[in-house]
């Protein structure tokens, strides 16, 4: 007989297979440490004694699927997160975007939308937003709904405003929202060129051909083979000179496609596609 850890690993594999077979969401190529941590936390919070017991509930009711999707959604985000990155966008990427008559941007894995609105503010300040469209996608429908609303806790405003200043903000952060009770709502004008949509990086194909892709701190939750698949997806979505932005703990060194990208900013993980596959 296997030990407890081996049995749990088997239960995790079966549980992920059950999610895929019944609901079509594929987490089988997420990193094992990430899936184990998320599933065991959900099991304990729901009061189950084993993953097998929880799997029975998953298969025979739909009560668990939304909480589990939220568990697997990468929701560590805030406005102007890593302000040095946004400063680099202003100085190193926007000059290229300004040469285009129309700009298409894809936020892949946009979560609850804070970083999407950060981009809209930058584009507005740089005079680019009226000729831009931002596609914001995630597999988590609840996160997409929240992103569409653009409503966030007022308790976060101080951090948002600080990040905005450090990112090279040209105005005052309060210019971009209205406050009410314990929340802020970002101005409707920031949403005028946003398209929110359901898209799963694991199972879906190319979303659109775009000039700039931001997928920051998502790949770290994937296995190496899934990372390679997603990088190929991004590669196919970018024209020559298209820009790919990853998170500060990610890079393209592992990828078979790395030679087709130039490192524009090593510290901020900004890459430019320089060639197609021969």
Low-confidence winner among 4-8, 151-155, 165-169 (lowest mean pLDDT): 4-8
CA distance 262 to 216: 18
CA distance 140 to 150: 16
- Confidence tier at 88 by pLDDT (50, 70, 90): very high
Query: What token pair was written down for 80?
Result: 């102007």
Residue 158 has pLDDT above 90, yes or no: yes
Low-confidence winner among 1-5, 92-96, 142-146 (lowest mean pLDDT): 1-5
Low-confidence winner among 48-52, 71-75, 143-147, 182-186 (lowest mean pLDDT): 71-75
Q: Which residue has the higher pLDDT, 34 or 259?
A: 259
Contact between residue 116 and residue 110 where contact means Cβ atoms under 8 Å apart = yes
Residue 2 has pLDDT above 60, yes or no: no
Residues in Cβ contact with 120 at an 8 Å cutoff, skipping those fewer than 6 apart: 129, 134, 190, 191, 193, 194
Average pLDDT, the chain: 92
Residue 82 has pLDDT above 80, yes or no: yes
Q: Is 153 left (phi over 0), alpha (psi -120 to 50) or beta?
A: beta
Q: Where are the domains of the chain?
A: 4-72, 83-273
- Confidence tier at 276 by pLDDT (50, 70, 90): very high
- At residue 141, the pLDDT reads 87
48-76 pLDDT, tens digit each: 999 999 999 999 999 898 888 888 876 66
CATH number 3.40.50.150 is the correct assignment for the domain at 83-273: yes
Give the three-state DSSP class for 43.
helix
**Parallel, antiparallel or unpaired: strands 103-108 and 212-215:** parallel
- At residue 76, the pLDDT reads 67
For the segment 171-182, the average pLDDT, to the nearest whole number, is 93
Residue 261 has pLDDT above 70, yes or no: yes
SS (H, E, C) 167-212: CCCCCCHHHHEEEECCEEEECHHHHCCEEEEECCCCCCCCCCCCCE
- At residue 72, the pLDDT reads 81
Query: What token pair was written down for 217?
Result: 């701190």
**Parallel, antiparallel or unpaired: strands 270-273 and 261-265:** antiparallel
187-220 pLDDT, tens digit each: 999 999 999 999 988 888 887 899 999 999 889 8
Which residue shows structure tokens 């078979």?
256
- At residue 168, the pLDDT reads 94
Nearest Cα to 78, choosing from 117, 133, 106?
117
For the segment 37-47, the average pLDDT, to the nearest whole number, is 91
Give the three-state DSSP class for 6.
helix
- Confidence tier at 33 by pLDDT (50, 70, 90): confident
- At residue 104, the pLDDT reads 98
């Amino acid at each position: 007989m296997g030990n407890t850890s081996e049995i749990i690993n088997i239960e995790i594999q079966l549980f992920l297979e059950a999610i895929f077979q019944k609901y079509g969401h594929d987490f089988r190529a997420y990193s094992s440490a990430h899936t184990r941590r998320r599933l065991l936390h959900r099991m304990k919070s729901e009061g189950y004694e084993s993953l097998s017991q929880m799997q029975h509930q998953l298969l025979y009711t739909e009560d668990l699927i939304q909480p589990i999707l939220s568990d697997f959604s990468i929701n560590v985000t805030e406005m102007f997160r890593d302000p040095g990155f946004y400063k680099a966008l202003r100085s190193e990427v926007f000059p290229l975007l300004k040469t285009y008559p129309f700009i298409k941007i894809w936020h892949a894995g946009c979560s609850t939308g804070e970083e999407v609105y950060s981009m809209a503010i930058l584009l507005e300040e740089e005079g680019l937003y009226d000729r831009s469209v931002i596609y914001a996608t995630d597999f988590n429908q609840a996160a997409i709904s929240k992103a569409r609303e653009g409503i966030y806790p007022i308790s976060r405003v101080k951090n948002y405003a600080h990040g905005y200043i450090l990112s090279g903000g040209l105005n005052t952060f309060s210019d971009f929202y209205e406050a009410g009770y314990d929340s802020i709502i970002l101005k409707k004008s920031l949403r005028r060129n946003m398209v929110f949509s359901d898209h799963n990086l694991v199972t879906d194909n190319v979303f659109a051909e775009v000039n700039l892709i931001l997928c920051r701190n998502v790949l770290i939750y994937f296995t190496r083979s899934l990372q390679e698949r997603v990088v190929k997806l991004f590669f196919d979505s970018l024209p020559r000179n298209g820009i790919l932005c990853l998170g500060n703990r990610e890079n393209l060194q592992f990828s078979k496609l790395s030679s087709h990208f130039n490192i524009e900013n090593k510290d901020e993980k900004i890459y430019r596609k320089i060639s197609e596959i021969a």
